[in-house]
Every structure is written in structure tokens, then in C-alpha cells.
């Protein structure tokens, strides 16, 4: 079962990259806020249908959740909006690795302090090195993107 969950996560990452790229292009035509809105409204309509046929049957249980847990929706909206904003400017790879660095950094804090009832895992040198190497990778990717953009601009003007 673990292999299937890992595979599902990889597929989820593939979907996120495709979505980032498509939404980035779409935002050039329709706008960043509009692209974010259409993504969420479409997702809400699809999930509404899924809930009708496959849900646990009590959508009002949401109102019984602690209010701090409902704040997670803002993080999802923020993530999507910022990704749509970033992709046309820095490219899909740079935007995605930036996202991963942010996820891992926050994940390390959450694990270290055991926030939100999760497993407590101490921050150590290996984790610090991992983040630093990802920052180096981001720098290399970003510099490569900027070089490619300059070359493309030069070819257009020649």
C-alpha cells in the first residue's frame, strides 16, 4: 500500500506542475485573480458533485471543526495565487522548487515543534544541509532560466 501512496503523491506532483504551467499561461490572458477564481470555482463544483454521490453525508460537520483548522483554506488559496503569479515570471521549475523548499522548511518546523498534533522530529544538521542544497539548486535553475531568457530576447532583436 505504501508504494501506491507514494505513486499517488508523484502523480499529484505531476498534476501540480501541469496545473501551474497551464494556470500561468491562462493568467496572461485572463489575469491572476481570475485564473485563481476559475480554478477554485471549478474545483468546488466538481467536489460538490463528488460529495453528493460519495461523501460521508454531513457537510455541516465542517461547522463543528475548530476555527483554526478552517484557516487552512487561506493557505490553499494563497499557494495557488502565488504560484499563478510566479510561473509566468520565473518558470515552472523555479516556482515548483521554491514551493518544495517552502514546504520542507515549514514541515521541518512543524515536525521539530510537533505542531498540529503531528509526530515530533528534531531538526538536525542533515535537514539543514538538505535545505541548503535545495537553495543551491534553486539558484542554479534560476540563473539558467535568466540566461535562457536573455538569449531568447537577444535572438528576437537580431
pLDDT digits (tens, 9 = 90+) for 32-48: 999 999 999 999 999 98
Q: CA 91 to CA 152: how far, in whole Å? A: 14
**What local confidence, expressed as pLDDT, does residue 131 receive?**
94
Is the separation of the CB atoms in 142 and 94 below 8 Å?
yes
Q: What is the pTM of this model?
A: 0.76
Mean pLDDT over 94-104 rounds to: 91
Position 133 pLDDT exceeds 90: yes
- Give the three cell numbers for residue 144: 539558467
Closest CA to 37 of 77, 69, 2: 77
- Give the SS3 label for residue 119: coil
- Burial class for 104, CB neighbours closer than 10 Å (0-12, 13-18, 19+): middle
DSSP code for 71? T
Amino acid at each position: 500500500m505504501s508504494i501506491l501512496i507514494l505513486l499517488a503523491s508523484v502523480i499529484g506532483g505531476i498534476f501540480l506542475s501541469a496545473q501551474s504551467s497551464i494556470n500561468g499561461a491562462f493568467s496572461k490572458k485572463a489575469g491572476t485573480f481570475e485564473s485563481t477564481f476559475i480554478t477554485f470555482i471549478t474545483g468546488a463544483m466538481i467536489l460538490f458533485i463528488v460529495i453528493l454521490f460519495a461523501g460521508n453525508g454531513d457537510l455541516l460537520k465542517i461547522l463543528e471543526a475548530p476555527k483554526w483548522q478552517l484557516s487552512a483554506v487561506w493557505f490553499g488559496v494563497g499557494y495557488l495565487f502565488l504560484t499563478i503569479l510566479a510561473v509566468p515570471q520565473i518558470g515552472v521549475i523555479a516556482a515548483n522548487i521554491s514551493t518544495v523548499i517552502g514546504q520542507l522548511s515549514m514541515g521541518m518546523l512543524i515536525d521539530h515543534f510537533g505542531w498540529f498534533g503531528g509526530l515530533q522530529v528534531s531538526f538536525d544538521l542533515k535537514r539543514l544541509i538538505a535545505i541548503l542544497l535545495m537553495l543551491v539548486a534553486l539558484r542554479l535553475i534560476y540563473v539558467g532560466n535568466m540566461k535562457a531568457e536573455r538569449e531568447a530576447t537577444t535572438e528576437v532583436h537580431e
